[in-house]
Amino acid sequence: MKKRETDGSVLKEPNVKYQTSQTTLSEYLRKKRSFIYRTLGDRLFSYFIFALGFIVILTTIVMAIVLYKDGAEAIKRYGFFGFLFGRVWDPAMKIEFGAFPFIVGTLITSIGSLAISFVPALAVAIFTAEYSPRWLAHIIDNLTNLIAAIPSVIIGLWGIFVFAPWMRDTFYMNIYMWILDNNPSFAPIFGNPIGYGIATATIILAIMIVPYTTVLTVDAFKKVPKEQREAAYALGATKWEVVKMAVIPYARGGILAGVMLSFGRAIGETMAVAMLIGNKNNLPFSIIGPASTMPSVIVNEFREAVENIHLSSLIAVGFYLFIISLVVNLIAAYIQRKFSLTGARTV
């Protein structure tokens, strides 16, 4: 099969060109086949591939359109910024909707979890890339990837039955009692010690987003040239000083990209947060008390939404979520491009 084709297209082709006066049927067909095979084939194949690939671009665009269209009822009714800053979410009595509590909840939990997870994530990256022997680095690398791979429902399950009760009994109760004894006016700010709330959800989120920072940071560390490190060693630096002076500054683009990626994950993380945050739909939130985030309210109420405006409001919340995570992802992509990091790792 292959041999015939190469014979046909490569060896005989020049002959066909020179025989201009008399073309037999078989030569005509061969010429034509060659045209179909090469020019048209290439053209069609590339169109086919572009059509398939274009679906990726199309999906994102369609997502934006669909979310806007289905959320339009709520956005029209309350106005774009009116809905964004509306502080009341009441599907039962007043039938009034505003996304502000969820935006606040999302920002608090995701920024909080970033703040908690940043130093440990960086430490894991430094440990695997600089300090540990290769076999240990390999194991730790696999384990951190495993954290990213564990389905968030399973972490939520563990959170509901193990982590939240444990936090309540060991920390929240004691601190709450101490506050009541010493400074009762602070109690409402601290919140009720039921165990399910912002603090618990934030800590769980922090555990879940560590791998995203770590993986990109390790990649960036690996790209630091040897000379950079050796120069620092030659100046008499200790290992930590090498990391601090030569490695981290060089890899800051990768670290930043990892942080943005983690931030995007934290914003969109749904199940574990929905199971642990306690689902309180109205401001004000307290430190350990219940709250809600944008994904968690969608998951919790979408199945039970009866009124059209309720459904539409939930999708509008999804639209705002889309915009926020689009911006975060584009910033991350920009950083990665600027510091010429290829994010080809999929895990």
Q: Residues 149 to 188: which contact other proteins by CB under 8 A?
A: 149-158, 160-162
Query: Bridge-partner residues for 90, per DSSP?
Result: 96
Question: Does 45 contact other proteins by CB under 8 A?
Answer: yes
Q: Looking at 18-26, 82-90, 191-199, 270-278, which segment touches other proteins (CB under 8 A)? A: 270-278
Residue holding tokens 């076999």? 135
Quote the least distance from Cβ 272 to other proteins, whole Å.
10
**N-to-C CA span, the chain:** 40
Cα torsion 225, 229, 232, 236 to 10°: value is: -160
Instruction: Name residues contacting other proteins, limited to 235-254 (CB under 8 A).
Output: 238-241
Question: Does 269 contact other proteins by CB under 8 A?
Answer: yes
Instruction: Name residues contacting other proteins, limited to 211-230 (CB under 8 A).
Output: 214
Instruction: Name residues contacting other proteins, limited to 4-43 (CB under 8 A).
Output: 6, 9-10, 37-38, 41-42
Cα gap 237→118, rounded to integer Å = 25
Cα gap 134→220, rounded to integer Å = 17
Task: Please enumerate in sequence order all residues whose Cβ is within 8 A of that of 14, keeping only pairs 6 or more positions apart, or say none.
Answer: none
What is the contact mask toward other proteins in residues 296 to 335, using x (rule: CB under 8 A)?
A: --xx--xx-----------x--x--xx--xx-xxx-xx--
Cβ distance to other proteins smaller for residue 179 or 271: 271
293, 105 contact by CB (below 8 A): yes
**Which of 256, 214, 226, 279 lies closest to 341, judged by CA?**
256
**Which of 102, 38, 39 lies closest to 74, judged by CA?**
102
Quote the least distance from Cβ 304 to other proteins, whole Å.
11
Among 16, 84, 111, 147, binds other proteins (CB under 8 A): 147
Question: Does 234 contact other proteins by CB under 8 A?
Answer: no
